[in-house]
Structure 1
Amino acid sequence: MVLNSGGASPPYLFHFTLKAKTILRMKMLVLQNTENQRGINLTAANLSHEQLQNIVTKIRDNSQKGTLTQSATLIDPLLTKETSSENSLQANEDTPNKFSSDQLTPKKLLISIKESEENEDIKLLQGAKGMYFISELYMTSEYANMLIKLEEGDNPSLMAEIVRRDCKKYPRPTNINLFHKFPFFMNKQEIEDILSDMQKHPDFQDIKSVTSFNGVKYLYSEQHMNERYAAKLADNIEYRLKG
């Protein structure tokens, strides 16, 4: 038998070591995923049935009233005041059903809620500044996303989204007076300021306006119709309203 010179490991030993390391990494990943899932399940288990029911009831009540439920309003009352790693365990022992901010997140709360098939109507939506719960028994995700933009003050994106949707779906241009009404309640100056800002932003260059035969301003998107078609539709809408 000839020993490998120079102290180098035999080829079979290299392959064995590589295989062992691969198996070890796979086991560590499985263990990590298991621990993560256990963390989620513990959060779900530690929330009492009464707590979950109160949360679901609040979400449904708000949706029925046409309002969003910010995730923070549900989670903050369930968090411990002290969330540092060395004190969170002691805090949770002293205050049952209290969690640190990494233990109870909006997504983990949704998992807890969804453990009951009766709560399939509860949805979690992501905004630019926060996360929001709704019940689809009373509010569609499309309408909720519109409210999120309104809540977060993203009026240019909100207006553009509505105009593009109207032009694509119906198709029709959007009467500018729509934004005076519920749930927008914008005054004339606010609308003009938003449109002025949109004209300067590259994301909204497709949003244009036409005026009907009787002087009513409509907005349309060049992504879905041209000026001539938008003007014709605006006139038709006004004729029907007068008719």
Structure 2
Amino acid sequence: MMGAHWESPGDTVEVSMNPNPKMLPVGSVKDARYLPYKVQPDIEGGEHVMKLLKAAGFNVKAAPTFDWIHDTFLIIIRMFPHCIPLPTTIVSMNARYESHFHLKIGAALRPLRYEDTLIIGSGGSVHNLYRNHWADMMLYRDNFAQPVPPGTWALEFRQAVEDNITNNTGPELRRAITRMMKHPRYKDAHGTDDHWMASLFAVGAAGGKDDQGPNTMIAECWELVNMCNTQYQLGSWDAYKPM
């Protein structure tokens, strides 16, 4: 899994290897919403991830003291609320935020899809904190209040994301999502690049020549008026054959 709040300096990529990680506090969210949930780091899986990344030429390092951030554990809690915690390995972004670099991280880990492993990228379709509306969040802790419609710039970019993901497969999907960083609304939709890297990671993992989709939009929510979170499934469970 790759989130949007952990980046490594230089040319490095880090892999979570803390056997007893804490869940870092979530702003404006009561502890009771997430602290009862127990995360389960996959140390053995982390070793495997590091081997795959090293074999692909990445300067990869273990992160033995890394504590989990809300971009990862909140996603797992909501996806699997009634399950035994899933063994999870988290991979960092690289702080240079180079599109092809993150796509190649996903491509290097693509073989895990055939080893009973779900690969998740946790970022955002539209995520620009500078252009959000914060009043209802600050006054009432209501991040879903929508007193006005989202901005045209946000709607345009969100639609472009859906069109590119659902209408492309294989290498074409990789190219389409990489090109999104040149979209005229990209810098409106993403004031910083961190929340787009996980999308590149995901299509790197699910954009091989054998990947023919379908790529489906599963769920979506808007919060803080202009921030859009969309869940996509790349590929079909119908083609999944357990080991």
* TM-score tier (shorter): under 0.3
More strand by share: 2
Larger radius of gyration: 1
* Bigger relative contact order (CA 8 A; separation at least 6): 2
TM-score with structure 2 setting the length:
0.21
